[in-house]
Chains A and B, each alone.
Chain A
Amino acid sequence: MLSTVLEQVVNGIVTGSVYAIVAVGMTMIFGVLRAINFAHGEYYMLGTFGAWFAVDYLGLSYEASIVVGILATIVVAYVVGQLVMRRMVGAPAESGVLATLGIALILQNAVIFVFGGGYKFFSGGYIEPISILGFSLAQQRILILVVCLVVFVGLELMVTYSRLGMAMRAVSQNVECCEVVGIDVPQVVLRTFILGAALAALSGVLTAPVNVSVYGGMGELITFKTLPIIIMGGLGNVRGTFFAAMILGIAESLVATYVGLQFRDTVGFATLILVLMWRPYGLFSTQARF
């Protein structure tokens, strides 16, 4: 009994790590743009499709496919960023919502149009189970955990010490002041956006061997899961996002086991609405920022 619960918690933490890597990009983009990126899950999907294409069509190894998936997403994100995201600086919140919804429609359906709407099988990755402390866990899941920790430590360092990180923090505090002191705001927005999209793609490529199936609509589901996370974590709050993702991952995993698998995907939005009512500024921020 206890070991089942523990096993579900561990599974939940792995799922949470996947969400965390996607959500942190979304929350950073919110930080600099004050706009929710409703298309964020599509970059997760693009990364997965890039990797699947590399493995299935080009016959590359899984390691190479990670690079292909992320690079393909970066190229798409660069184009979207130049054409759309830069224009969103200073635009009202509603236009951000509509524009990113439009991008989500375009990306998702362009992929379905090119590759077909059916489910594809992702072969690759390290799915051999190994056992640690009596649990058996696929290597891939351990890889996800490790990458998640590395990503978050790296982001924490980057946001604190690097030039781009400092610029990002500055833009998220006051756009006008940044313009006055000569920070190229659209450039910071563009870089943050590409970084966020690349992280989403990384998450997608890492999860593909665990999820096995690859399909065009997968991005939408991830967007709907990360929205609650970034709200719970407090918009723009990197550390809060990490903990919120873990909470949602574990909650989903427990609900799937003890309530019913079909309710798993509702947990996020039910939580989101509750959190919005109760603490609109998130669980981990002490005051309303936006």
Chain B
Amino acid sequence: MSLTETVQQARRRDLRIPLAAVLVVIALAAPYIGSRYVTHSLIIALIFMLPAHGLNLLVGYTGLLSLAQAAFFGIGAYTAGLLAVTYGTPFYVNLIAAGVVSGAIALPLGIPALRLRSTSFVMCTLGFVIIGQAISKNWVSLTRGDMGLSGIPKPYFELGPLSFSVSGTTNFYYLALAIGALATFAAWAIVRSPAGRNMVAIRENETLAESLGVPTWHYKLIVFMLSAVFAGIGGCLYAYYLTVVSPLTFQMYYSTTMLIIVLGGGAGMISGTVFGSLLFVGLTEALRITPELRMIAYGFCLLVLVFWFKKGFAPLINRFWNVIGGVK
């Protein structure tokens, strides 16, 4: 035994794949494990996960703090609601339309807004939420104002001879789970692509990224639109789940919730957003905390995240993942 050779470390087993399998099984079996209320909480968490993924691309990867997410969430909800109630179009059409319309509206809003920096950008995006709410309240002929749109039908699928409608909490949970999984995969694919690395470059140093030939302006605009697409799809699901859309969908509070999911879970990390939505939305919903107490708790969460817990749960998740994988 030479001196350079060290004693072989006792390698622990890589438990990542079994753990992932267990998590998938739990996700699939959740409606049968927990009560109906737990399933409901999970649906809400999954719905909020969608705009949070979009926000994560914007805040976590590109470094733009935006409050506009609730505006696009609302636009998606209204698009889906109006199409479903007025034209009776099927669910998947509305889902795509909600994403497309939100993304399309984000373009003219993003062009002026993204010219602004830091605080001014934040305020401009806040303005979109306020103005969105005002429009949904006052354009009565289209949105029915404060009464809102009610009677959104159940999601209905038709595949050739097969057709079924998603009714009941359990079925809706699977729908939300499928869309949530797709969105998570989409976000992951974006982040892992070369485009994702360019986004990180913009976050770290915009001037440097620009000097290296990254078209920063186009990137920022496209990410802003993508975040709106995610939010719009989330809004569509929300509208279908509640079967009602009202001007209250445009709420600052929703933007704050999404921010807490992203920052708490760990900005710039896909698994962090998934974890954040389960923790901050799913858990608070499941514990049946009164809205006021929940908002107070959110307020404290924001303060803690800003001053004491800057990276959110990201380092913990990473460490856990490494330990499970047998890496020291």
A interface residues (Cβ-Cβ under 8 A, vs B): 35-36, 84, 87, 91-99, 101-106, 108-110, 112-113, 117, 220, 224, 227, 231, 260, 262-263, 265-266, 269-270, 272-273, 276-277, 280
Contacts and interface: CB of A to CB of B under 8 A. Distances in A.
B302 to A, nearest CB: 3
B202 to A, nearest CB: 15
Interface string B127-152: 10011001001100000000000000
A262 B119 contact: no
Interface of B: 65, 112, 115-116, 118-120, 122-124, 126-127, 130-131, 134, 137-138, 252-253, 256, 259, 263, 290-293, 295-296, 298-303, 305-307
Top 6 closest pairs, chain A to chain B, by CB:
A102-B302, A105-B299, A106-B299, A269-B127, A93-B118, A109-B295
A262 B138 contact: yes
Contacts of A265: 130, 134
19 contacts: A35-B119, A98-B65, A99-B303, A99-B306, A105-B302, A106-B296, A108-B295, A109-B292, A110-B292, A113-B292, A113-B293, A113-B296, A227-B123, A231-B123, A260-B138, A262-B134, A263-B138, A273-B112, A276-B124
B52 to A, nearest CB: 15
Given A105-B295, A109-B299, A112-B292, A262 B137 contact: yes
Nearest to A84: B303
A94 B59 CA distance: 10
Given A84-B303, A97-B65, A105 B256 contact: yes
Contact of A109 (B115, B118, B137, B296): B296
B307 A276 contact: no
B295 A93 contact: no
A277 B110 CA distance: 12
A94 B203 CA distance: 13
A231 B292 CA distance: 31
Contacts of A266: 130-131, 134
Given A102-B299, A105-B256, A273-B127, A280 B116 contact: yes
Contacts, number: 111
Contact of A276 (B123, B134, B293, B305): B123
A224 B130 contact: yes
B306 A104 contact: no
B304 to A, nearest CB: 9
Nearest to B63: A94
* Interface of chain A, main secondary structure: helix
B124 A98 contact: no
A101 B118 contact: no
A269 B302 contact: no
Contacts of A35: 119
B303 A276 contact: no
A276 B122 CA distance: 12
B119 A93 contact: yes
A102 B118 contact: no
A84 B299 CA distance: 12
Given A266-B130, A277-B112, 19 more contacts: A36-B122, A94-B65, A96-B119, A98-B65, A98-B302, A98-B306, A99-B306, A99-B307, A101-B299, A102-B300, A102-B301, A105-B253, A105-B295, A105-B298, A260-B138, A269-B130, A269-B131, A272-B124, A273-B131
A246 B123 CA distance: 21
Nearest to A235: B119
Contacts of A94: 65, 118, 122
Contacts of B307: 84, 87, 95, 99
Nearest to B123: A227
Given A93-B118, A231-B123, A104 B299 contact: yes
